[in-house]
């Protein structure tokens, strides 16, 4: 859809939902990049050719993880990671989520933030959903980062599969949520760089809670079937 | 796993999760069977060879719907539908959910109840999750039906695809939730009777809310991609 279409037609034809931007030149930061999920995402994105910076509270730990992963990945303290990145994936543990983001408000201003945190509790019956006061981790991020563009994605990935170098393709769709189409398109494009993975627009942030907490169900699936479950959206 | 295994070994080998019971002889009732979702499920189950009774508040409406669907489907008032069925699928609208189940407590005693209701609200921005006081529609059913065996399943199906006679296979997994393995196995087996469909155990009822409300996300997917989206669980 060109701007001309917009000007000439009262109701322009719907944009092709698979017409996604080129994101190959963007720098991706991963806060919490020394944890399993963050490491796995950093590895897959770098392997796909993306420039990746791992962030951690301690620069040294980030640098160690980056050196282990190779692929041109760099490590930095969280604030520097945020400053140097165009897109910042938030992969910190839920209990450090609010504090980490609050401290990075100015560094994350103007950035595209991708929250992939799953607020879960665990007891002897397994995992269960925690409901943040803001509705979801992503909505908490949006509340804490008013000058950032906040999206949610990358929830349903197996950190084990992401980190397994012998696996070529990650056979999973990534549900991408957000308020602004340009932002969700960009995150979808980023997901699509990883072989086998596909970013599928899946609604606004107010519907992020169920996407985040569905990880509790995937944990039950994994236990029953001894699997590393993910999701595919059918008919799309 | 036989009872002998239980007696002889302190930790018996895990039962094959795909070793599911034969459910071909069970009578399946569908409360709310005149609505789109209920009709679609009744049609698919009957087409797969299951004996199906559609329930409605008005016997006549149920009989009309049953006659339209054919395949030996019968129609009855809700109470008779529940009494005559072994397995009762609850496919009523959310706003009639509690009242319908309360009125059928005695008829549903001892029955296997399968709740497939999605508590959603709608406004100009689309669909959003409603959070029942009990946690989920399924947990509300369990609270209202203390003498029934309550499970949750069949949330992510497209009523359009279910009802389209030209479609042979329903390319979707069915997440099945419940407290008792014998019950969830039975529901999985029922889902598996429909070609293309597969029942996947996906946790306890306390994790039903996110499965129910994920339908809000699928509605966003459908709008963006002009699709009838469903879900597949990968690596299972």
Q: What is the pLDDT of residues A205-234, one digit of tens each?
A: 999 999 999 999 999 999 999 999 999 999
| Least Cα separation, residue A50 to chain B (angstroms) | 25
For position B194, what pLDDT does the model report?
98
Local confidence band at A14 (pLDDT 50, 70, 90 cut-offs): confident
Verdict on whether the full-model pTM lies above 0.90: yes
Decide if A234 and B235 are in contact by the 8 Å CB cutoff.
Answer: no
Length of chain A in residues, anyone? 236
By the 8 A CB rule, do B213 and B139 touch?
A: no
| pLDDT tens-digit map of A77-132 | 999 999 999 999 999 999 999 999 999 999 999 999 999 999 999 999 999 999 99
| pLDDT tens-digit map of B20-41 | 999 999 999 999 999 999 999 9
Q: Which domain holds residue B194?
A: 22-225
In the A/B pair of chains, how many CB contacts fall below 8 A?
139
The helix-helix angle for A208-225 and A137-144 (nearest 10°) equals 140
Examine the pLDDT at B19 and tell me if it is beyond 70. Answer: yes
Do the domain assignments include residue B5?
no
- In degrees and rounded to multiples of 5, residue B70 shows phi and psi of 70, -145
Residue of A nearest to B19 (CA): A225
Do the domain assignments include residue A5?
no
By the 8 A CB rule, do B44 and B170 touch?
A: yes
Do the domain assignments include residue B14?
no
Both structure tokens of B208: 């039903």
What does DSSP assign to residue A207?
G
CB of B120 within 8 Å of a chain A CB? The answer is no
Report angle CA A9, A11, A15 to the nearest 5 degrees: 100
Local confidence band at B2 (pLDDT 50, 70, 90 cut-offs): very low
State the complex-level ipTM.
0.93
Local confidence band at A4 (pLDDT 50, 70, 90 cut-offs): very low
Tell me the percentage of chain A whose pLDDT exceeds 70.
Answer: 95
| Nearest CB neighbour to A224, from listed B17, B131, B161 | B17
By the 8 A CB rule, do B199 and B153 touch?
A: yes
Do the domain assignments include residue A17?
no
Decide if A201 and B220 are in contact by the 8 Å CB cutoff.
Answer: yes
Residue from A77, A234, A95, A211 nearest A153 by CA: A211
Do the domain assignments include residue B41?
yes
Local confidence band at B218 (pLDDT 50, 70, 90 cut-offs): very high
Decide if B217 and A228 are in contact by the 8 Å CB cutoff.
Answer: no
Task: Quote the longest CA-to-CA distance of chain A.
Answer: 61
What is the distance in angstroms between the CA of the first residue and the CA of the last residue of chain A?
A: 21
Residue from A112, A200, A203, A221 nearest A154 by CA: A200
Average per-residue pLDDT for chain B: 95
Do the domain assignments include residue B127?
yes
User: Which residue in this structure is represented by tokens 């839920």?
Assistant: A94
CB atoms under 10 Å from CB of A131, counted, come to 13
The DSSP annotation for B96-137 comes to GHHHHHHHTHHHHTTSEEEE----EEEETTEEEE---TTSSH
| pLDDT tens-digit map of B97-147 | 999 999 999 999 999 999 999 999 999 999 999 999 999 999 999 999 999
Q: How far is CA B98 from CA B2, B115, B117, in A?
A: 39, 12, 11
Decide if B213 and A216 are in contact by the 8 Å CB cutoff.
Answer: no
User: Which residue in this structure is represented by tokens 């999985």?
Assistant: B188
CATH label of the domain that carries residue A46: 3.40.50.720
Examine the pLDDT at B4 and tell me if it is beyond 60. Answer: no
CB of B228 within 8 Å of a chain A CB? The answer is yes
Decide if A204 and B227 are in contact by the 8 Å CB cutoff.
Answer: no
Decide if B175 and A216 are in contact by the 8 Å CB cutoff.
Answer: no
For position B72, what pLDDT does the model report?
97
CB of A217 within 8 Å of a chain B CB? The answer is yes
| Least Cα separation, residue A90 to chain B (angstroms) | 21
Local confidence band at A10 (pLDDT 50, 70, 90 cut-offs): low
| Structural domains counted in chain B | 1
In Å, how far from its chain's centre is CA A144? 17
Residue among B172, B217, B232 with most chain A CBs within 10 A, to mutate: B217
Decide if A229 and B207 are in contact by the 8 Å CB cutoff.
Answer: no
Decide if A207 and B217 are in contact by the 8 Å CB cutoff.
Answer: yes
Examine the pLDDT at A141 and tell me if it is beyond 60. Answer: yes
Do the domain assignments include residue A34?
yes
CB atoms under 10 Å from CB of B120, counted, come to 17
A228 contact residues in B (CB cutoff 8 A): 235
Examine the pLDDT at B3 and tell me if it is beyond 50. Answer: no
CB of A163 within 8 Å of a chain B CB? The answer is no
Decide if A203 and B221 are in contact by the 8 Å CB cutoff.
Answer: yes
Cβ burial A198-220 (10 Å sphere, 16+ → b, else e): bbbbbbbbbbbbbbbbbbbbbbb
Do the domain assignments include residue A12?
no
Euclidean distance between CA atoms A221 and A227, whole angstroms:
7
CB of A123 within 8 Å of a chain B CB? The answer is no
């Amino acid at each position: 859809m060109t701007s001309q279409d917009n000007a000439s037609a009262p109701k322009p034809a719907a944009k092709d939902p698979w017409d996604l931007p080129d994101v190959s030149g963007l720098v991706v930061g991963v806060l919490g990049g020394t944890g399993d999920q963050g490491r796995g995402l950093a590895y897959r994105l770098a392997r796909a050719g993306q420039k990746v910076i791992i962030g951690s509270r301690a620069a040294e730990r980030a640098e160690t993880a980056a050196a282990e992963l190779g692929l041109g990945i760099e490590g930095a303290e969280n604030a520097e990671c945020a400053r140097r990145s165009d897109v910042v994936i938030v992969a910190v543990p839920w209990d450090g989520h609010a504090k980490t983001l609050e401290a990075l408000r100015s560094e994350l201003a103007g950035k595209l933030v991708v929250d992939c945190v799953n607020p879960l509790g665990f007891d002897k019956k397994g995992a269960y959903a925690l409901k943040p006061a803001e509705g979801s981790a992503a909505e908490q991020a949006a509340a804490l980062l008013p000058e950032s563009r906040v999206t949610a994605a990358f929830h349903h990935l197996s950190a084990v599969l992401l980190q397994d170098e012998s696996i070529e393709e990650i056979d999973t769709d990534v549900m991408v949520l957000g308020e602004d189409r340009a932002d969700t398109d960009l995150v979808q494009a980023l997901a699509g760089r990883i072989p086998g993975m596909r970013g599928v627009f899946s609604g606004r942030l107010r519907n992020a809670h169920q996407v985040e907490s569905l990880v509790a169900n995937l944990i039950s699936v994994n236990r029953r079937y001894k699997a590393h479950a993910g999701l595919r959206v059918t008919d799309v």
